[in-house]
Amino acid sequence: MAIFKGAGVAIVTPMYDDGKVNYDKLDEILNEQIENGTDAIIICGTTGESSTLTHGEHLKTIKFAVDQVKGRLPVIGGTGSNCTETAVMMSQEAASYGVDGILVVTPYYNKASQKGLIGHYTTVAKSVDVPVIVYNVPSRTGCNILPETMAALAKDVPNIVGLKAASGNLSQIARTMALCDGKLDLYSGNDDQILPVLSLGGIGVISVLSNVAPRQTHDIVMEFLNGNLAKAAKLQLDAIDLIESLFCEVNPIPVKTAMNLLGKEVGPTRMPLCEMEPKNKERLIKSMKDYGLM
């Protein structure tokens, strides 16, 4: 059974001006997401600035989300690392907190071979008894999971159940789904490709857009899954300009800026991320207004 269907929010990690994690604000936005139709919480992923959280902060934030959500929605913890031993440790800790699944990004920087990827994911998955979603985002990691590799993992490792596909390569995603032969839950990792990925057998999205438009993102997926294809397409296309603005600088700079513009007070990003360029901020504001958020 799938961990979730629909729109899971790749939620930001709110911070105070001094860079410390703002757990009071995190509690607030978790509740807002639940109240506005989000189908799952993905905590401490890329959008949550996992790469600049200490291990202690990272694990505390995952536990906080599990404790505050209290089973109202699935909570999926980002526990990937470019060190297999670290990914095992993070995954085991997250599992002990009661997460409904873990999201494990491909090892970044050291660029494992396909054989290395199979070894890495098999080791991490076998160290826990919770479902694993593999996260393929070559533009960030420099490492691409080939369809044959994903199929081997899906067929040979029982708790590797899903793929967050953010390669942008629809042909690769199609071949992956063909080889996996129904043994893989597929989630779009790109907000501008929700419908194309759903059309290849996907069941949802792990979304940045959901931070500012949770109900709308949920509806894009559910209208498609319910057979209302024209309505789903309109909702997807209506959001394209905003989605492009949310990615006109590296994520999560624009989405945190957008949330602050909406009065959410999620604070700054951590260095080396920085404030948004003024011209890009103007573009973002226009897109938010055109979409009806402001």
Give the CATH number, domain containing residue 218.
3.20.20.70
3-state secondary structure of 206: strand
pTM of the model: 0.96
Q: How confident is the model at residue 5 (pLDDT cuts 50, 70, 90)?
A: very high
Residue 64 falls within a domain, yes or no? yes
**Tell me, what's the pLDDT at 205?**
98
Confidence class of residue 141 from pLDDT cuts 50, 70 and 90? very high
Q: Specify if 294 maps to a domain.
A: no
Report, as an integer, the average pLDDT of 86-105: 98
Confidence of residue 192 (pLDDT cuts 50, 70, 90): very high
**Residue 254, amino acid:** P
How many residues in total does the chain contain? 294
Domain-embedded: residue 161:
yes
Please, which residues bridge with residue 135 across strands? 105, 164
User: How many angstroms from the chain centroid is the CA of residue 183?
Assistant: 21
Q: For residue 40, list its beta bridge partners.
A: 8
Mean per-residue pLDDT of the chain? 97
Classify residue 119: in a domain, yes or no: yes
Residue with tokens 């919770």: 130
Task: Give the whole-angstrom CA distance, residue 226 versus residue 85.
Answer: 42
For residues 95-110, one letter each, b for 16 or more C-beta atoms within 10 angstroms of the residue's C-beta and e for the rest, the string is bebbbbbbbbbbbbee
Examine residue 118 and state whether it is found in any structural domain, yes or no.
yes
What is the percent of the chain with per-residue pLDDT over 90, rounded to a whole number? 99
Average pLDDT over residues 248-272: 98
> Quick one: which of 69, 133, 81 has its CA closest to 112?
81
pLDDT of residue 152: 98
Domain tally, the chain: 1
The C-alpha angle 36, 42, 120, rounded to 5 degrees, equals 160
How many CB atoms neighbour CB 292 within 10 A? 10
Please report the pLDDT score of residue 121 as a whole number: 98
Q: Which domain holds residue 105?
A: 6-227
Check residue 67 and give its pLDDT.
98
Q: pLDDT category, 278, cuts 50, 70, 90?
A: very high
Q: So which residues are the catalytic ones?
A: 135, 164
Total Cβ atoms within 10 A of residue 248: 17
The conformation of residue 250, written as its DSSP 8-state character, comes to S
Under a CB-based contact definition with an 8 Å cutoff, are residues 134 and 4 in contact? no
User: Is there a domain that residue 244 lies in?
Assistant: no
Residue 154: the pLDDT is 97
pLDDT-based confidence at residue 12 (cuts at 50, 70, 90): very high
* Inside any domain, residue 41: yes
User: What confidence score (pLDDT) does residue 251 get?
Assistant: 98
Please identify which residue in the block is written with the tokens 């513009």: 261
- Please list, in sequence order, all residues whose beta carbon lies within 8 angstroms of the beta carbon of residue 191, skipping any fewer than 6 positions away: 205, 207, 208, 209, 217, 239, 243, 246
Q: Looking at the domain assignment, is residue 272 inside a domain?
A: no
Q: What is the pLDDT of residue 38?
A: 98
The pLDDT assigned to 26 comes to 98
Structure confidence at residue 14 as a pLDDT band (50, 70, 90) = very high
